[in-house]
C-alpha cells in the first residue's frame, strides 16, 4: 500500500528530475561559456531541492489527505513555468538569445529548437500544476485505484 500511494506521484517525480537535469545542463553550458547568466539555472536548481525533499517525505505518508504537502513542488513549477515564458519571449530577441545561450549559434534552426524545448517545458510545468491540483482535490485516477484497493483488503 505504501508503494501504491507513493506511485501516485510518479510522473511528478520524473518531470521534476527532467527539469533538474535540463537546468543542470544549461548551467554547465553557461559555466563553460563563462557567462554570469548561470545564476538563472542555478537558482532554479536550488528551488528544486525543497520539492525533491517533499517527495522523499511523501514515501512514508500513509494518509490520503496531502493538501499542501506538494506546495514546494507547485511553487517550483510555477516559477519554472514563468521562467520558460520569459525565456520564450527573450529567445526572439537577438541580444537576449546570445546572452542566455552563448553556446548556440544564432540561426533559425537553433531558435526553432530552443522554442520547441521551451514550449515543451511550459506544457510540462502546466501539466504538473494541474496534476497537483487534481491530487489536492482527490480527483486523480490513482486516488480511485487506492480506494478500490482499500475496499478489497
- Nearest partner of 131 among 118, 122, 142, 120, judged by Cα: 142
Determine the Cα–Cα distance for residues 55 and 70; give it in Å rounded to an integer: 8
Average of per-residue pLDDT across 121-133: 96
Average of per-residue pLDDT across 75-102: 93
* pLDDT over 70 at 145, yes or no: no
| Structure confidence at residue 7 (pLDDT) | 75
Determine the Cα–Cα distance for residues 79 and 47; give it in Å rounded to an integer: 9
Average of per-residue pLDDT across 48-60: 87
pTM of the model: 0.86
Identify the band that residue 3 occupies on the pLDDT scale cut at 50, 70 and 90. Answer: low
Identify the band that residue 150 occupies on the pLDDT scale cut at 50, 70 and 90. Answer: low
Residues 16 and 51 sit within 8 Å (Cβ to Cβ): yes
For residue 83, what is its C-alpha cell? 521562467
* pLDDT over 70 at 11, yes or no: yes
Q: Residue written as cell 538569445? A: 97
Average of per-residue pLDDT across 46-56: 93
Q: Which domain holds residue 132?
A: 2-152
For residue 130, what is its C-alpha cell? 494541474
Average of per-residue pLDDT across 67-96: 92
Amino acid at each position: 500500500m505504501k508503494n501504491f500511494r507513493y506511485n501516485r506521484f510518479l510522473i511528478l517525480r520524473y518531470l521534476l528530475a527532467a527539469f533538474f537535469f535540463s537546468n543542470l545542463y544549461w548551467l554547465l553550458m553557461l559555466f563553460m561559456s563563462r557567462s554570469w547568466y548561470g545564476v538563472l539555472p542555478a537558482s532554479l536548481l536550488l528551488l528544486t531541492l525543497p520539492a525533491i525533499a517533499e517527495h522523499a517525505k511523501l514515501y512514508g505518508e500513509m494518509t490520503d489527505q496531502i493538501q499542501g504537502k506538494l506546495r514546494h513542488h507547485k511553487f517550483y513549477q510555477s516559477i519554472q513555468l514563468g521562467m520558460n515564458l520569459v525565456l520564450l519571449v527573450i529567445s526572439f530577441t537577438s541580444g537576449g538569445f546570445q546572452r542566455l545561450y552563448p553556446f548556440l549559434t544564432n540561426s533559425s534552426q537553433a531558435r526553432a529548437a530552443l522554442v520547441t524545448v521551451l514550449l515543451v517545458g511550459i506544457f510540462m510545468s502546466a501539466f504538473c500544476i494541474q496534476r497537483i491540483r487534481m491530487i489536492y482535490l482527490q480527483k486523480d485516477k490513482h486516488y480511485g485505484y487506492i480506494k478500490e484497493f482499500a475496499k478489497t483488503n
